Chains A and B, each alone.
Chain A
Amino acid sequence: MGGTEIISSIKKILPDFTALLVEQRHPDEIFIKVSPQIFKDTALVLHKILPSPVMMLFAVDERKLGGVFTVNAVFVHLKQAQWIIVSMDIPQEDPHFDSLAKNMHSATLFEREIWEMFGIEPKGNPDLRRMNLHDEVWPPGNFPLRKDFKEMQARGLSEFKFNKVEGVGIFEVPVGPVHAGIIGPGHFHFSVAGEPIVNLEIRLGFTHRGVEKLFEGKPCVEAIRLAECISGDNSFAYSVAFAIAAEKISGMLISEHAAYLRGIFLELERMYNHVNDIGGMATDVGFSFPAAYAALIKEAILQLNEKLTASRYLKKVNVIGGVSIDIDESKKTIIFNSLEKIKKDFEELIKILNFSVSFMDRVDATGTLIKKTAQDLGIVGLVARASGIPTDLRKYFPGVYDQAKFKMMTQEGGDVLSRLQIRFSEFTESCRLIEEFTRKLNDCRHTQVNPVFKQASALGYTEGWRGPVLCWLKTDSNGLIQRCKIVDPSTHNWQGLSYAVLGNIIPDFPLCNKSFNLSYSGNDL
């Protein structure tokens, strides 16, 4: 399956389609360059035939080289294990393009981001309010991701306008950005008719730190540490996605040993987060015993992480070209012994929750996200699997997961219970995978070679515990990063939350929120 097959299936729907360039850039990446006139149609056709939501849509400032901005849309062809990147050049004078948002909902937020960061107008997008650069502190007309941006020019500030629901008896409940718990900042604007929520608008961007700009000009070897700090509970997945992108650029292949090690740590990260969320859901219905129990299991996994890597959050473990630490025989024993205990405790946690009728009553049919809505919004990862969408990069881009006979978990309900059960089964599956990977670890140590960087671009991806973590990287001839675009699964899934809570009552919101457990910092960047 190469570019030609994709092109011919596009031509079936668009007979006069011509591409400016079709290239297999990497074994798993097809690059298609088209003119701005047919970019929209091409993207929509791919969206329909693959079918895939737009996984990334982002701009790159290439005015220095060619006097243009490029806009890239990334789709995924799961069955053929290919990423398809559609690209176009936009002239720097009066930069704009036809909006995809009205035909493909998953593009909406990406277009707003392109507008606020680059000042490229998606013509026809009905909502161009800014997300990460807040109107209250950042005047319009300052586009920080343009290469010639130096510092903010004061031009006048304004206020964000929330969508308004009107009608008799509707009242609004604003919550945040500082919440009651120990949690990231976000603003939730509820419109409520009596008890049920009729609209929820989520305003994020409070943790925006300008991460993508900070990547620029850094060497890859150094920047991997920054990638780890994008989302603290997902730091290993980020370092893997970033390392894969950098390895593709430099043409390195990591050893099977290193791939197994990465698999082990990815699954450990998944386990501590899943059990944390299960405990969180118990907390949010006031069921403190299993919450404490889950906290103990989480702590046990964090301590296992520390024993293996000297870092509870698996930071500074990954390097470009491999993994900096090794698992020897004594560490293998530690893994097996700890997992034995963890598994036993986890089984009991499941029993406690499943045996509690009142707990099950709270989670069943709460916060339902139906499959159709999830597909339209382009929901990914764990939440998508709970709504019956079979999507998991570990299955379709398996690598070492193939030999371990990885089993993808899906549920049909789309409610809090489904998301809970996905976590139950994925936790158990992760345990099995870690044991399998550990057994397969062989002693053939890989020799570390220094990566040679060149001017190129590549997409790094991995299935983190929330869903696919994507990192598109472009380097110049010195190996310095020119552009690094990060997409966290939360970016797609926050919209899902605002649909899932409709018709539920506000007291159930924390429960729905915890069942998604999305990242603030990963979304805001």
Chain B
Amino acid sequence: MLEPTLPRAALRLARGALTKANRVQLYLPIADLPVNVLLILAMGAAVGFVSGMFGIGGGFLMTPLLIFVGISPAVAVASVASHIAASSFSGAISYWRRRAIDPSLALVLLTGGTIGTALGVWTFTLLRSLGQLDLLIALSYVILLTTVGGLMFWEGLRAMLRARGGNPVPVRRSGGHGWIHGLPLKMRFKRSKIYLSVIPVIVIGLIIGFIGAVMGIGGGFILVPLMIYVLRVPTSTVIGTSMVLTLVTMVFATMLHAVTNHLVDAVLALILMVGGVTGAQFGARAGQKIRGEHLRLLLGLLVLAVGIRFAVELVIKPADLFTVRETSTGGPA
């Protein structure tokens, strides 16, 4: 007698879930508005996929998407930090299992990153008191994204053409490439198979931390090319190691946002995370299958596209010259 009732109950449950799926609105307690759960999940998954594939945080993609859905920029930035932490952690674990993370390199980068973040927060406060911070952020987005994206795209394209032409691309260019390898304080990064001075590594960490704090991004998309082209870190360990840096930065960012502005929406973050980690897993797997130069080409294209979008926004006459923003919630007047 039990057997026939069970599937019927399951059927009823499924039907209930289906009718509910049509209105999966969920009210976000901090953002103060209802959102479509499926939409947010899909957004999290899509950005998670990209972030797992390229080893970038994806904040520069996620934040504009959330603002587009109607979430206020402050809440979006604050909640995205925890989402990036989750997807980079899941990505980092799978890279760790594949031995694609260089722990000593990550540690040295983090040392520089911490100093850079502190400097960046200080500069941010200074710039805000001077005004026109928005413009500066927008301009640095455009300059950074288009140059980094353009360079990566160009380099990837050239590498691909060379590979097609018959002569395979050398993994690392041989010989002394410039002053970077002449610097003192050399250290052996075993897993990356490089012997390198810690000075450029710390400086790069510092730059990333600084840019991240000023522009409110993880900075993975700048870190990856810097590691590839300046430090000559092999592609096999670049992504995993950059993920570790992103993870630590974003955990700190989450804490900072929660303590200072109380704007982290945990419910929004959880939905993004669930989508994000799922996407990141598939992304990481896809990233391992794609050849290095193709990966660089794709990432370059993506970064360039976002940069151009920002540039267009600055140059084209906006549909509405006016904007209204909340500055503070006044008490009962």
Q: Do A and B come from one complex?
A: no
Q: Which residues of B line the A interface, CB within 8 A?
A: none
Q: Which residues of A line the B interface, CB within 8 A?
A: none
